[in-house]
Structure 1
Amino acid sequence: MNKHITSLLAALTCLLFFSPTFAQTNGRNTLPKWAFGGFERPAHINPIISPKASSKFSDPMSGQSVGWEAFYTFNPAAVVKNGKVAVLYRSEDMTGDAIGTRTSRIGYAESMDGLHFKRRGTPVVYPGHDNQKEFEWPGGCEDPRVAVTEKGTYVMFYTQWNRKVPRLGVATSKDLVTWVKHGPIFRKFYNGKFADIPNKSASIVTRLKDGRVVIARVNGIYWMYWGEQHVFAATSTNLIDWRPLTDSKGGLKWLISPRKNYFDSDLTECGPPALITENGIILFYNGKNHPGEGGDKRFNGNSYCAGQVLFSLQDPAKAIGRLDVPFLRPMEPFEKSGQYVNGTVFIEGLTFFKNKWFLYYGCADSKVGVAVFDPAKPAPPDPLPAL
């Protein structure tokens, strides 16, 4: 055989055996060098937070005592405080009959080991008699993401839900318990052009510094990724007022979007705070699989799986890498049963604790789970379903 043909066949064989497509069709899942993971679910631990009917709270809206976390507890943020992991999670009461019709509040729990949590009896962020009533009554406060500045100010981005328009709100705290609400984040710029469109899911850029995950500046300013249908961006100088990134026509600039026939074919929704690494900025996000012909047939239609995108540190709007398959997907029974039976691992909290990375996520919109990445002994990412 001609030596050039032989070399070509060898090269093609090598490409076949090491290409992502070949790996996917054979059920293997390997991460590129820039990606984070793999994460492993600790044995016999999950779910770490579940609904609790005995928790009562005097609701400012109704004036009545309500079981504020009786129905579902899910979609958690996470941060380290005073040597403990603090998780702030979304809770739903029993006032409605479907997703989006109950009132949500944000509860607080903390842990010495990142796995076993002690909860406060009352929520720390909720719709109350404050200047945010028009944005938070009656739907409440949903889906927090939390990060901390180097000087110790905690910054929470969450969805303000008045059952008309979801809006990103921001609040700050010194102790994670007492919060000051600053309201919708996009009102100041472009004459409020983007303040009243549906907006949610903010992932502020952070970095690991001296063993702590802290809010970072990129090119001198704060930067966040946000969005549900697509991934957008915004910048800030004060962490409170955010300027959305726009395109040449004055519309929101799309950084990444759903991809046909992939696990993220329906939505690309931002997850926990993005992280600066030696390779660039990693955005962890939640991909929703399209239920029709446009989805990845290996995953349930409408299921949520976890992906990663790598953005350039020099140009944070430029995506330079992206996982073609999820690193975490619904596998356990509690991730596929409850309020959202199509299956959900909805990631929102990521923190560094005792030399490991702890990833906290919502399980089927019903409970809270955790997965752990040990850089010294990485676990494989979740295996892919057989074709």
Structure 2
Amino acid sequence: MRIFNITLIISLFSGSLYAQLPDWTLGPFNRPPGVNPIIRPDTTTQFKDPMTKTMVGWESNDTFNPAAVLKDGKICVLYRAEDRSGKGIGMRTSRIGLATSDDGIHIEHRSPVPVLYPDTDAQQEFEWRGGCEDPRVAMTPDGTYLVLYTEWNNKVPRLGAALSTDLIHWKKYGPVFKGKFREMASKSASVVTEVANGKLVIARIKGKYWMYWGEEHVYAATSANLTDWTPLTTPDGKLKELMSPRKGYFDSRLTECGPPAVKTDKGIVLLYNGKNDESRGDKRYPPAAYCAGQVLFDNNDPEKVLARLDEPFLVPQDAFEKSGQYPAGTVFLEGLVLFRNKWFLYYGCADSRVAVVVANKVN
């Protein structure tokens, strides 16, 4: 039996979410007092939907699962917003909104209209009527922004890619996987980044772009152009599983990739979202709750796991993290920014709100 770490108990009440983390991890992260949630639904904003030609309250029901990146000295948050066109998680139409912050914890501006959404374009067969969901965003060294998001047509979720230079106007490239992999369900892509000149930029590994992706297991894929990706496979052509759920742990049901992974001198750090299985999970956490983990991959062999946290470093704690669309409790990581030598980590709360935690960069 594993012994529960008393420091973790203390840290849950002090605001520091895992006081003694291994030196390869990012953190510990702290909740800034009195600011969360930083983004809530807005019933006043209206958008003329190009699919139905009607005005919709595009962010009236829920705002959650945020990506984040630096632009012009500000942190820009791309968040998933749901309208009220249906009932239940995934049954409404999702669009991507844009918010900006001067300090990372207070939102100064929100676009009144979404910046990425289903349209009468080449992607409508993949995006209507479920929409554009759960973005992860990162920047190339030359200032091009890549968003990897879920195209949802109420039939099959597919990872899609889009590029932009201003975070407002996006060129969609469609499903990132081609051939036999185009028709499979795919979600949650974390492109590998590195720190350059004090900010995160998309990195190459042995000449190729690299991403971790997946919901139940962690898989990987490589690319030469950021929009067309080739999954890693086994000799018999199946997807290669790099990491999987563990019985008796907080990630016993899902190990879903979070924000862009970070290449450090210790290895590649992937933050991920672990779902606690109702029957075979860790009894210290609520059944079906999402908590946050970290795993370290080898810099020279990015398929190889070097280390993995046994305890989550972020757990649902505040009321807005345990209510809303997903009352089992959710902290769902999707956005990570290095800003003024601090890590700003953005996450969805119970599929209904957006919050942030902050850590000093120590390595």
TM-score scaled by length of structure 2: 0.95
Structure 1 position 100, deviation (Å):
1.0
> 2:3 pairs with 16, 21, 34, which one?
21
Name the SS of the counterpart of 1:328 in structure 2.
coil
Structure 1 position 354, deviation (Å):
1.4
Listed one character per residue, the Cα deviations across residues 45-93 of structure 1 (whole Å, up to 9, x for unaligned) are 0000000000100011211100000000000000000000000000000
The residue that corresponds to 1:78 in the other structure is 68
Give, as a single letter, the amino acid of the residue that structure 2 aligns with 1:300.
Answer: P
Establish whether residue 234 from structure 1 lines up as the match of residue 216 from structure 2.
no
The residue that corresponds to 2:58 in the other structure is 68
Matches within 5 A, 1:355-370: 355-370=341-356
> 1:44 pairs with 20, 31, 34, which one?
34
2: CA distance, partners of 1:256 / 1:148: 26
Establish whether residue 92 from structure 1 lines up as the match of residue 82 from structure 2.
yes
* Cα distance change, pair 25–148 in 1 and its aligned pair in 2 (3 A): closer
Listed one character per residue, the Cα deviations across residues 109-141 of structure 1 (whole Å, up to 9, x for unaligned) are 001111111100000000001100100010000
1: CA distance, partners of 2:143 / 2:360: 26
The residue that corresponds to 2:13 in the other structure is none
The residue that corresponds to 1:279 in the other structure is 266
Name the SS of the counterpart of 2:328 in structure 1.
coil
2: CA distance, partners of 1:330 / 1:65: 35
The residue that corresponds to 2:23 in the other structure is 33
Give, as a single letter, the amino acid of the residue that structure 2 aligns with 1:145.
Answer: R
The residue that corresponds to 2:298 in the other structure is 312
Name the SS of the counterpart of 2:23 in structure 1.
coil
- Give the aligned length: 354
Give, as a single letter, the amino acid of the residue that structure 2 aligns with 1:246.
Answer: T
Matches within 5 A, 1:110-125: 110-117=100-107, 118-125=109-116
1: CA distance, partners of 2:199 / 2:22: 25
Establish whether residue 167 from structure 1 lines up as the match of residue 158 from structure 2.
yes
Matches within 5 A, 1:108-257: 108-117=98-107, 118-187=109-178, 192-257=179-244
Name the SS of the counterpart of 1:80 in structure 2.
strand
1: CA distance, partners of 2:132 / 2:9: 39
Structure 1 position 22, deviation (Å):
5.2
The residue that corresponds to 1:353 in the other structure is 339
TM-score scaled by length of structure 1: 0.90
The residue that corresponds to 1:12 in the other structure is none
Q: Which runs of at least 4 in structure 1 moved beyond 6 Å after TM superposition?
A: none
Q: Greater Rg, structure 1 or structure 2?
A: 1
Structure 1 position 26, deviation (Å):
7.9
Listed one character per residue, the Cα deviations across residues 331-351 of structure 1 (whole Å, up to 9, x for unaligned) are 001100111000000000000
Name the SS of the counterpart of 1:321 in structure 2.
strand
Structure 1 position 220, deviation (Å):
1.3
The residue that corresponds to 1:371 in the other structure is 357
Structure 1 position 31, deviation (Å):
1.2
Comparing 25-34 and 114-123, the one that deviates more: 25-34
Structure 1 position 27, deviation (Å):
3.6
1: CA distance, partners of 2:221 / 2:6: 34
Name the SS of the counterpart of 2:126 in structure 1.
helix
* Cα distance change, pair 97–26 in 1 and its aligned pair in 2 (3 A): closer
Could you list the runs of 5+ residues in structure 1 that have no partner in the other structure? 1-18, 379-387
- RMSD of aligned C-alpha atoms? 1.5
The residue that corresponds to 1:7 in the other structure is none
Quote the sequence identity (%).
60
The residue that corresponds to 1:340 in the other structure is 326
Give, as a single letter, the amino acid of the residue that structure 2 aligns with 1:98.
Answer: G
